[in-house]
Structure 1
Amino acid sequence: MNYRGFFVVLFLLSLVLLPFQTNAVTTKVVEINDQKQEESGDYSPIKVASIQYNPTFKKPDKNIKELYREFEKAFKNGAKLAVAPEMATTGYMFENREGIAPFVEQIPGPTTKIFRKLAAEYDSYIVFGMPEKDADSNLYYNSSVLIGPEGLVGKYRKMHLWETDAYWAARGDAEVEVYDTELGKVAMNICMDSAYYETARTAAVKGADILAFPTNSSAQTISALPARAQQNGLYILSANRSNTEKGFHMVGASAIWSPHGEKLAEAPYSPDAENDINETKTIYGYVNPDHYRNVNKEMLGERRPELYKELSQFIQPWDSRASTESQRVNAMALQYSPILGDKKANQKKVHRLIEEEISKAKDTDLIVLPELSFTGPVTGKSINTIYSLSERDKGKTFSFMSKLAKKHKVNIVYGVIERENNQLYNSAILLNEKGEWKGKYRKTHLDNEEKRWATPGDSLPVFNVEGLGKIGLLIGDDVRFPESSGVLSSKRADMIAVPVSWSGEYSGYMEINPNLSENQYPDNAVVLWDAVAIGAQAYTIFANFVGSEQGFKGSSGLYTLDPLYGLDQPVTGSSKHEEAVTFELNTIQAEHWFNQEKLLQSRHPLYYEPLIQNQNIIQNSAEAK
């Protein structure tokens, strides 16, 4: 009898003897399932589970038996979908192909056959990670499986490998797939995939409702999940480990996220090896099919694939256009309460703020102002009124700002209603320290109100500015479309400046466990603003209004490359008061473990094709039912 056949016999025998055996691993069920249950409508909420399980390294027999027991407990407790961690059947820290060779198997295979019976018995779905062997090529993959009542529904091969995987695994060789189930449309990503917005985005564009996320995370990948949920309107179920294996510590904090980025449930956090949590922790939450269609999911229909073609390009490692020298930049984000529609009053206010604050700040290199800096938003105003507030290139506002830039020898980004050939644009203008015009960006992703009066821009430019490096511009709602900052990153933007007028109508404040980040986020850090900086690996400055009748939430400031592991720290201003938020940064972090160069070198554009297709392939699963 071969190894696998012998194992199956032993496993079936162990199930018979299971009630009489002593469980060496303590299991705790963490019941958080009723705290944030969403109200039902046409469909009943579906109970789901995340199993924070810690496998024993190189002990698949033991791990599979324990996983079987944990899944069964979750199903007996009412869960219809349960997710367990990455490489849950074997452990993670294998050194090479030889080391993992005894533990790989085909999918479908003996392990999936075992869990198929369990899924069928409870009419439920199972997701977990395991090492896979391809029968034809003999390549190995870090894979996850989705098993349902009918058997193996699908598998996913991890696309973006971390160093540990790369010593033995080939990177995934296919796009992210979405599978129809009785619960809705389900896709899978694995661990490092979440550092690249493209994987979750592909799932969403293909119509996913739920993203199952097995991981072995030390912080980075689980911290990205609120953004992935908000960007794509997805429920996300993450299952992490909470102990240490061969010196690598995994922090737990498995979580269930709503399509709005709300944390519905979270498992215990383990800060370090001295505080390992070896026992299994299972958390519960609900996904509501009535909420599969939501405002964030609907935003996928507002994407501009014709602008994203650069996402398919792979220039590394020969990208000679990238900056080679880091620039030390002293920057300032101005936030103030606008007098809506009164350009002169707002110019006066901006002049006063700059004159007062620049005298306090040392050698300011860059100032960023909010969106439509001198009119404020023009929501509800007539087209004639908006037209009267517009200006041609290098109009009166340009002259006013040019004098300020030249006087203080500072680069400035500001926003205007631009007019050209009787068409209006929501534009951002970049001036250099000589007061010269360096370029403009016309907002490419318009909200419903802006569509009433504005023409969308047709490019995502990056500008080379002496003393700053390469700077990209976005405006407002552009941050809801990660492809925008992805294009700027591919064009090697060292910084991104984003004028906004944000009143909380999208995104929200960070809900990740604050202990995940070595340098903690400010209380009013905004999820999708942070996602721009980390996703593009470019320091990003946001300038927002504050107060006024529209309830602007301020929070202007700097979002950084990696506060999680202590490289830097976001800086935000008040959510209530006018102020200039000042900060310093070094534009390039060439020696850090993760940076823009490494991000771009490790992307897999071949499998991002759905993001640049000019077709809408989104199909809501609730509608399909």
Structure 2
Amino acid sequence: MRVALIQMPVTADKAENIKTACEKLREAAASGADIAVLPEMFCCPYQNDCFRAYGEEANGPSQAALSALAAETEMYIVGGSLPELADGNVYNTSYVYGRRGELLAKHRKAHLFDIDVAGGQCFKESDTLSPGNAVTTFGTEFGTMGLCICFDLRFEELARCMCLRGAKCIFVPAAFNMTTGPAHWELLFRQRAVDNQCFTVGVSPARDETAGYVAYGNSIAVDPWGTVLCRAGAEKTTLYADLDLSRLDDVRRQLPILSARRTDLYEVREK
């Protein structure tokens, strides 16, 4: 299963961002990608004062473009994320489209990025965004895949729930910053891959030092043994990861962690 990790620049021009995404998706299809992944907030600056202004209701312009590209290229598209407007709220939402352009899944970021690191990054998504409440997986001819967004990856229970549903790979559109990225980016993707004996794929915007929020970049793919298959730097680029899904069976047979889970130890009992 060939995956394209599209680490694209994100500007203040929404139409230009959509155009860039479409160009990169066509290039990915021409390079044999089965699944292409865009970054978190691929069409919108990562700023609270932009989320509602750049937001879209159902079947908005970004969604329509991704659906059309999926049908045109006959490629799965994990559409990064964008601000979704619904019921008066704004959600950080990722849309997944199938080879015919059909909507396969929609994930609203469940764990909002509210942090205040001493001497580092301070950001509160909850000032503008509302949280989702779902574990998200979707089916392909390669098997079940999982989907979450950025800060969601820090919560091991969510990843485990996806894998217990059968997810072979967890796709994570993300935008870690220059505080959390160097500290935790690779660590978290390797950790979730080893914990759940699955592939993990994280895709970030390219780094723009002039932006209000500076993304770390470093888009990454990791195998079930915790081996980094590919990793970008800060620049705009597209990486290709060829995932041998039989690797899951090999690793799970050698280290039968999932099948050896003692569920009786983890039951919640009322006192």
TM-score tier by shorter-chain length is 0.7 to 0.9
For residue 254 of structure 1, the aligned residue among 196, 219, 224 is 219
Aligned to 1:169: 129
User: Is contact 1:240-1:250 (8 Å) kept?
Assistant: yes
* Cα distance in 1, alignment partners of residues 76 and 59 from structure 2: 15
Structure-2 residue corresponding to 1:305: 263
Q: Distance in 2 between matches of 1:48 and 1:182?
A: 14
Kindly name which structure, 1 or 2, has the bigger radius of gyration based on alpha carbons.
1
Per the TM alignment, residue 84 of structure 1 is displaced from its structure 2 partner at its CA by 1.3
Structure 2 counterpart SS, 1:104? coil
Deviations 1:217-245 (A, max 9, x none): 12134430101011112111111122246
CA distance 1:171–1:293, shift in 2 (3 Å)? same
Take 2:51 and 2:64, find their aligned partners in 1: how far apart are those partners? 21
- Out of 255, 277, 291, which is 2:247 matched to? 291
Separation (CA, whole Å) in 2 of partners of 1:285 and 1:190: 19
Secondary structure of the structure 1 residue equivalent to 2:249: coil
Partner residue in 2 for 1:225:
189
Deviations 1:187-236 (A, max 9, x none): 11111111111121111111101111100012134430101011112111
2:147 partner letter: M
Q: 1:110-145 CA distances to partner (integer Å, 9 max, x unpaired)?
A: 3222212211222211111111112xx221111111
8 A Cα contact 1:222 1:238, kept in partner: no
Determine the C-alpha separation between the residues in 2 that align with 1:100 and 1:112: 16
CA separation of 1:116 and 1:300: change in aligned 2, threshold 3 A: same
C-alpha deviation, 1:61, in angstroms: 0.9
> In the TM superposition, what is the alpha-carbon distance from 1:109 to its structure 2 partner?
3.5
Match of 2:117 in 1: none
Aligned-residue offset at 1:103: 1.6
Alpha-carbon distance between aligned partners in 2 of 1:185 and 1:138, rounded to the nearest angstrom: 32
What's the secondary structure of 1:249's corresponding residue?
coil
CA shift, 1:90, in A, is: 0.9
2:4–2:28 CA contact under 8 A, matched in 1: yes
1:281 aligned to which of 237, 253, 266: 237
Residue number in structure 1 paired with 2:35: 81
Q: What whole-Å deviation, never above 9, does each CA across 1:370-395 have from its counterpart, x for those lacking one?
A: xxxxxxxxxxxxxxxxxxxxxxxxxx
Match of 1:69 in 2: 23
Residue 91 and residue 201 in structure 1: after superposition, are their counterparts in 2 closer, same or farther (change >3 A)? same
Q: Secondary structure at the match of 1:301?
A: coil
Partner of 1:101: 52
Q: Structure 1 segments of 4 or more deviating over 6 A? A: none
Find the counterpart in structure 2 of residue 147 from structure 1.
Answer: 97
Shift of 1:246: 4.3
Contact 2:189 2:201 in 1 (8 A): no
Contact 2:52–2:83 under 8 Å retained in 1: no
Residue of 78, 81, 106 corresponding to 1:129: 81
- Which residue number in structure 2 is paired with residue 579 of structure 1? none
1:62-461 pair list within 5 angstroms:
62-95=16-49, 99-127=50-78, 128-134=80-86, 137-150=87-100, 151-163=102-114, 164-174=124-134, 176-218=135-177, 219=181, 220-241=184-205, 242-244=207-209, 246-268=211-233, 270=234, 277=235, 280-296=236-252, 298-309=256-267
Give the whole-Å Cα distance in 2 for the aligned partners of 1:239 and 1:187.
14
What is the CA–CA distance in structure 1 between the aligned matches of 2:147 and 2:228, rounded to whole Å? 19
Superposed displacement of residue 182, structure 1: 2.2
Do the aligned partners of 1:116 and 1:149 also contact (CA within 8 Å) in 2? no
Local SS of the residue matching 1:61 = helix
Q: In the alignment, does 2:12 pair up with 1:47?
A: no
Q: How does 1:488-527 map to 2 (within 5 A)?
A: none
TM-score (norm 2): 0.85
Between the two structures, name the one with larger relative contact order (CA 8 Å, sep ≥ 6): 2
Amino acid at match of 1:173: N
Could you report, residue by residue, the CA deviation over 1:410-468 in whole angstroms, capped at 9, with x for unpaired residues? xxxxxxxxxxxxxxxxxxxxxxxxxxxxxxxxxxxxxxxxxxxxxxxxxxxxxxxxxxx
User: What one-letter code is carried by the residue in structure 2 that aligns with 1:56?
Assistant: T
Task: Determine the C-alpha separation between the residues in 1 that align with 2:250 and 2:161.
Answer: 17
- The structure-2 alpha-carbon separation of the partners of 1:105 and 1:245, relative to structure 1 and needing over 3 Å to count, comes to farther
Q: State the distance in 2 between where 1:76 and 1:162 align.
A: 35
Q: Give the % identical residues.
A: 29
In the other structure, the counterpart of 1:356 is none
- SS of structure 1 residue aligned to 2:53: helix
Structure 1 residue runs without a partner (length 5+): 1-45, 271-276, 314-625
Give the 3 Å change call, closer, same or farther, for CA 83–208 of structure 1 in structure 2.
same
> What is the match of residue 616 of structure 1?
none
Which amino acid is 1:157 matched to?
A: R
For residues 245 and 157 of structure 1, the distance between their equivalents in structure 2, rounded to whole angstroms, comes to: 28
Q: Which amino acid aligns with 2:109?
A: K
- Give 1:147's aligned amino acid: Y
Contact 2:136 2:148 in 1 (8 A): no
Distance across 2 between alignment mates of 1:107 and 1:234 = 32
Q: Is the 8 A contact 1:50 1:83 kept in 2?
A: yes
Aligned to 2:119: none
SS of match in other structure, 2:52? helix
CA distance in 2, matches of 1:308, 1:108: 42
| Partner SS, residue 95 of structure 2 | strand
| Alpha carbons of structure 1 residues 253 and 260: separation in structure 2 relative to 1, 3 Å | same
Q: In 2, Cα distance between the equivalents of 1:69 and 1:195?
A: 31
